[in-house]
Structure 1
Amino acid sequence: MTQTVDEVLIEPAQTRLDLREPPPVGMPGARPVRAERAAPKVPRVAIVHDWLVAYAGAERVLEQIIACFPDADIFSVVDFMDERACLQGKRVTTSFIQKLPFAKKKYRGYLPLMPLAIEQLDVSGYDLVISSSHAVAKGVLTGPDQIHISYVHSPIRYAWDLQHQYLRQSNLTAGMKSMMARIVLHYMRTWDIRTSNSVDHFIANSAFIARRIHKVYHRDAHVIFPPVDVDAFQLNEIKDDFYLTASRMVPYKKIDLIVEAFAKMPERRLVVIGDGPDMRKIRAKASPNVEIMGYQPFSVLHDRMRRAKAFVFAAEEDFGISVVEAQACGTPVIAYGKGGALETVRDASHAEPTGIFFDEQSIESIVDAVQEFELGAVAFRPADCRANAQRFSIGHFRESLRAHVGHVAPHFVLPPMREDDIDDRKGEVKEAAQASDLRVLAVDQSGALGGAELSMLEVVKNMRGDVQTLLFDDGPFRIALEAVGVKVDVLDGAALGNVRKDGIKRPGAGMLGGVLKLLRGTLAKSRDADVIYVNTQRAMVIGAIAGLISRRPVVWHLRDIVSEDHFGRTQLTIIKWCTKLMLEHVIANSTASATAVTALTRLREERLDVVFNGISADPFTDLEAVAQHELRDRFGLPRDAFLVGSFSRLARWKGQHVLLEALRECPEMHAVFVGAALFGEDAYEAELRAFVAEHGLADRVHFLGFQHDIAACMKAVDIVTHTSIMPEPFGRVIIEGMLSKRPVVAARAGGVIDIVKDRENAILCEPGDARALAQALDELAGDASLRERLVHAGYANAVNRFGTRRYVESVEKILNRVASKKRRRVAV
């Protein structure tokens, strides 16, 4: 049984747990005294790991052990890792199980053979052997002149205290299979105890596991908490009104108890992230105040952890990485008071508390703890939570491990870590240097400056390395790219002009020739690139084919909800098979976009990331000193009117007609429409103008057309609206409205849910509901304090969560990772 990230991983901070005094030499249980070497030496180091099949908790620890001993050789029972960055380019020596039938998927079925397999790995030529063990790695054979240090994530839990739970979960409580399983586990316990005698020094990943080691092996263990990538989580001082729990949905995690507890507290909101065998059962127990999000990529988990008022944790874990990650975000923890949580959370008995404990794994106990948290008797400061999490950083782990090895083996001169592995920041520098060598071909279908193009512009103008941009149409986008120094080529994409997302208009006979021209042009540019970065659906199809031919990896930045609401069946079929067969990776701009593409393509989670668009605050802050009446004069808008703005291309699904209908119920307001009909939607614009004329609204409706200075337009109005009648992939205009320090009213659907907390940083209305929109506008017009509160919270939300630096770095990191993965394949 492998251990997941939040089961195994985690912490640094060196602690010595002396469970008993070591017996004198010659007494039972004493460790033999080694003869002193004549002179110190640099040891040959072997690192032995149970099995390499996925990058989970134990593998994160292994990665840092390798960083501490960069010249070590690696051994494992099997090696089927796809994500090999943690191995730092090292070849792994494996056992005979590697070549057995079905070993890649059924390696656990060979558990009875693993003791034999681990004993066949020859490490006799090494001075220092470090095993990373939650199963059999510690059983590797070593001689009397070798030092064996075993970092134990846990003794084989399903063979010891969790045997009966394991048998129940595996439906092995009775029958012949149960008998065989019990015999195998008995054999594993006997072997596990015997091989513990060959370990010279035990390291446990927590005091909890140290106690388990003492119980099972009758040996003391030094505690070095596993490494948590604390720097990947950012402190957030501003918390939203919801609780969070995140975990794989398996019985011992007790997610069902948390969900049932919040069902008894309908006034409290709970967000649940994770997936697993218990998902259906947990969904059935969820009440309206509980949001079950399922599996989410890191960016979404990180966002919710930063914003949650508290993280709820009900499992009895060996360590509990998610607890540390939450604290790294400045989020306090409400945890079950047993296991590793007692070592990672500080309760009210500490001067700087970071959480509270509940005593029982029960609904009532969780409810009581949440109510206690709400009463606020204990004050939690985000900075204290972050400081506590820092005790478990990668740097602390490395320092502690090398210090302990130096202590137990003083006759060894430890090899220095490589310069770029000295500390966490050096690793970041290394990654940045790699990214600076990256050659990217960025492809977009449009010459217009829509939301997708503005978001791509932010990436390519700030990305390090060599970026070449290819457009299938000329226009303002090309001018904007060249203005910031980005190299641009324009191909003739007119043949794609009749291809629509909804599939209503069929492509003409000349399309094939036009597509071939685009393909040839894209191929010619792609041969000098490390990765092809495609920004829109049509560009994705051309880029995917070009990448297949040129053998370049293709990354699609998905900025659409690929569903029947937005695309025709033919287009969805093309998207599905291009994504499944030709793309290396997908970046989705929202949870809604990610969910839709996963439903369509069944894309594996390791091939998908959610990266929220980043929007620069600079254009808005540059206008802080400009009076609103000056901006209104610039655009010919009335100085004294109450102006409600709509900022989007004119398209039916964008819902400008909803604002016009609402305006009829708000006679004291004016509407300002910024945007043009870009993609054959002139009939809709004519329909809007006809509605204005028919209902006598001409003196209160202002069509400004396409505008370059969106910041100035937004600051000229009093309220920013978002009125899409179909789910929006992201909702860029909402972030811009918040940055302009204007209250925002938005449609409750799609990516908007990632941005807005209703009545905390904006107001949500149901899509297409003109009356609800009118009521929200009237309320805002009459309540200055509400406008001020939404403006303050909205601006903080936009700056903290949707900044350009994090956005660009996230995209750049993905592109660099994909390119590096391709290079490793070529090298092999």
Structure 2
Amino acid sequence: MSDSQHTSPPGRGSVIVAHPGAELYGSDRVLLDSVIGLVAEFARVVVVLPQDGPLAAELRAAGAHVVIAPAFVLRKRLMKPRGWGELISTAWRGGRAARRLLRAERPDAVYVSTITLPLWPLLARLRRLPVVLHVHEGEASASTLVKKVLYAPALLAHTVLVNSAFSLGVMTSAYRRLASRSTVVLNAVPGPVDPTPPRSTLDGPLRVLFVGRLSPRKGADLAIAAVERLRERGTAATLDIAGSVFEGYEPYEESLHAAVAAADLGDAVTFHGFQNEIWAILDRSDVLVVPSRLDEPFGNTAVEGVLAGRPVVVSDTSGLREATAGIPSAIRVEPDSAASLADGLATVVERWPEMAAAAADSRRIAEERHSRETFQQTVADAVVALALPR
């Protein structure tokens, strides 16, 4: 284990924060805002991560102590028989590390940032510690049994924060009694300070942008196919893809490159890999696409596009519908349909003056809904309310 030597400002007691990754994707950035709020209220905030990474540096800069320790992270691949060996070994190592940290730190509260860390709520409750669980998942398509397994850790939490009404509905469909201890807290989504306005006219190709994990669920392949269809219809378009794969999904990334080659789109599609800072690439784009195939608990990436002053075309599903509600510069399309996504992009081209003009109003709406300061204080208040009696 390793611990930063950063000293936190004075505050109330201490809190342990458990998180399943160390990158800077949507849920990681939300965790960072949660920690910023906690650092303002607690004398010591210890964040436990399974590996080092860019998130760790941001957390240390925010005033948190970072501990790198083994963790049991519930992944889909571990639920299959061939993953059971790894499931048992990681559960043993992760449980042992968590017990040691709880014994050494003796925190006043434990904040768990996702249901994919099921051991933390259990071990904290065994030590009679108050637990706040922040739910970011909304697996509506899962079977009743799977949902009961996934959301079981929430039964051990004293307070449950949920990132959207959609996620709350999915969770309470598994356990109705969780509704009484749950609160919807919309994600904090920081935007650029001074975004470049959209182009006044679309001179040259439409510049399409995809940002996110490269996985079948997120639908980068649909973005490639939609651009191919646009070009076949006579509408010039390019596509920038910013994102990387989870370990084990490398064949999917290879299939994306193969699809680009097969469609002769080498001059139109550019892979940028993971981008820590997305505002520069958003500035160079005309429209952001979020073509998720399956339910999304929320739509952080769509909100980032709106905050950057860009029209967004998103799948008409779950949290993406919620994230773009009332946003005049957003277009929703049929999920898992390259043709529908291409139609949405064609609509952006046809209505460009209207869409570009609506971007400023859309940005103001998103800024108000997703204030970082409000989010940070709400999370901190939830943890303080449980820690104070101790």
TM-score using structure 1 length: 0.42
1:68 maps to what in 2?
none
1:795 maps to what in 2?
363
Does 2:345 match 1:777?
yes
1:644 maps to what in 2?
208
Q: Deviations over 1:219-253 (max 9, x none)?
A: xxxxxxxxxxxxxxxxxxxxxxxxxxxxxxxxxxx
Q: Where do 1:739-758 residues align within 5 Å?
A: 739-757=307-325
Q: Report the AA paired with residue 95 of structure 2.
A: L
Does 2:225 match 1:661?
yes
Change (3 A) 1:604 1:714: same
Q: Report the AA paired with residue 621 of structure 1.
A: V
Q: Report the AA paired with residue 699 of structure 1.
A: D
Give the SS at the match of 1:654: coil
Task: Calculate percent identity across the aligned residue pairs.
Answer: 23
Q: Is the 8 A contact 1:644 1:717 kept in 2?
A: yes
Change (3 A) 1:559 1:506: farther
Change (3 A) 1:689 1:461: same
Q: Report the AA paired with residue 120 of structure 2.
A: G
For the aligned residue pairs, the C-alpha RMSD in angstroms reads 2.5
Q: Is the 8 A contact 1:503 1:569 kept in 2?
A: no
2:377 and 2:273 map into 1 onto residues whose CA distance is 33
Change (3 A) 1:545 1:663: same
Residue 449 of structure 1 deviates from its aligned partner by: 2.2
1:462 and 1:802 map into 2 onto residues whose CA distance is 15
Q: Is the 8 A contact 2:115 2:151 kept in 1?
A: no
Give the SS at the match of 1:741: coil
1:708 and 1:775 map into 2 onto residues whose CA distance is 30
Give the SS at the match of 2:83: coil
Residue 640 of structure 1 deviates from its aligned partner by: 5.3
Does 2:81 match 1:517?
no
2:120 and 2:154 map into 1 onto residues whose CA distance is 11
1:670 and 1:502 map into 2 onto residues whose CA distance is 38
Which residue of 128, 147, 161 corresponds with 1:551?
A: 128
Which residue of 166, 169, 173 corresponds with 1:592?
A: 166
Choose between structure 1 and 2 for higher RCO, CA contacts under 8 A separated by at least 6 residues.
2
Q: Report the AA paired with residue 58 of structure 2.
A: A
2:34 maps to what in 1?
459
Which residue of 51, 57, 60 corresponds with 1:479?
A: 57
Residue 542 of structure 1 deviates from its aligned partner by: 1.8
Does 2:303 match 1:735?
yes
Residue 451 of structure 1 deviates from its aligned partner by: 1.3
Q: Is the 8 A contact 1:623 1:712 kept in 2?
A: no
1:722 maps to what in 2?
290
Q: Where do 1:298-317 residues align within 5 Å?
A: none
Residue 441 of structure 1 deviates from its aligned partner by: 0.9
Residue 605 of structure 1 deviates from its aligned partner by: 2.6
Give the SS at the match of 1:653: coil
Does 2:70 match 1:492?
yes
Give the SS at the match of 1:597: helix
Q: Where do 1:363-442 residues align within 5 Å?
A: 436-442=11-17
Q: Is the 8 A contact 1:738 1:744 kept in 2?
A: yes
2:308 and 2:342 map into 1 onto residues whose CA distance is 22
1:775 and 1:548 map into 2 onto residues whose CA distance is 51
Q: Is the 8 A contact 1:532 1:554 kept in 2?
A: yes
Give the SS at the match of 1:652: coil
Change (3 A) 1:759 1:577: closer
Q: Deviations over 1:175-209 (max 9, x none)?
A: xxxxxxxxxxxxxxxxxxxxxxxxxxxxxxxxxxx
Residue 741 of structure 1 deviates from its aligned partner by: 0.7
Q: Is the 8 A contact 1:761 1:797 kept in 2?
A: no
Q: Where do 1:316-327 residues align within 5 Å?
A: none
Give the SS at the match of 2:188: coil
1:505 and 1:669 map into 2 onto residues whose CA distance is 44
Q: Which has the larger radius of gyration?
A: 1
Change (3 A) 1:569 1:489: farther
Change (3 A) 1:471 1:665: same
1:806 and 1:746 map into 2 onto residues whose CA distance is 26
Give the SS at the match of 1:666: helix
1:596 and 1:742 map into 2 onto residues whose CA distance is 30
Q: Is the 8 A contact 2:213 2:245 kept in 1?
A: yes
Q: Report the AA paired with residue 556 of structure 1.
A: L
Residue 437 of structure 1 deviates from its aligned partner by: 1.1
Residue 622 of structure 1 deviates from its aligned partner by: 5.0
Q: Is the 8 A contact 1:675 1:706 kept in 2?
A: yes
Q: Deviations over 1:510-537 (max 9, x none)?
A: 5434323322322333342121111123
Q: Is the 8 A contact 2:115 2:153 kept in 1?
A: no
2:82 and 2:135 map into 1 onto residues whose CA distance is 23
1:615 and 1:496 map into 2 onto residues whose CA distance is 25
Give the SS at the match of 1:670: strand
Q: Report the AA paired with residue 23 of structure 2.
A: A
1:583 and 1:716 map into 2 onto residues whose CA distance is 44
Q: Where do 1:602-751 residues align within 5 Å?
A: 602-617=176-191, 620-622=192-194, 624=196, 641-667=205-231, 668-751=236-319
1:533 maps to what in 2?
111
Give the SS at the match of 1:705: coil
TM-score using structure 2 length: 0.87
1:562 and 1:707 map into 2 onto residues whose CA distance is 27
Residue 557 of structure 1 deviates from its aligned partner by: 0.8
Residue 553 of structure 1 deviates from its aligned partner by: 1.6
1:682 and 1:805 map into 2 onto residues whose CA distance is 38
Q: Is the 8 A contact 1:587 1:609 kept in 2?
A: yes
Q: Where do 1:40-59 residues align within 5 Å?
A: none
Does 2:16 match 1:448?
no
Change (3 A) 1:728 1:661: same
Q: Is the 8 A contact 1:597 1:603 kept in 2?
A: no
Runs ≥4 residues deviating over 6 A = none
Q: Report the AA paired with residue 656 of structure 1.
A: A
Give the SS at the match of 2:88: helix
Change (3 A) 1:496 1:621: closer
1:483 and 1:647 map into 2 onto residues whose CA distance is 25
Give the SS at the match of 1:459: helix
Q: Where do 1:148-167 residues align within 5 Å?
A: none
Q: Report the AA paired with residue 665 of structure 1.
A: R
Unmatched 5+ residue regions in structure 1? Answer: 1-434, 629-638, 824-828
Q: Where do 1:200-279 residues align within 5 Å?
A: none
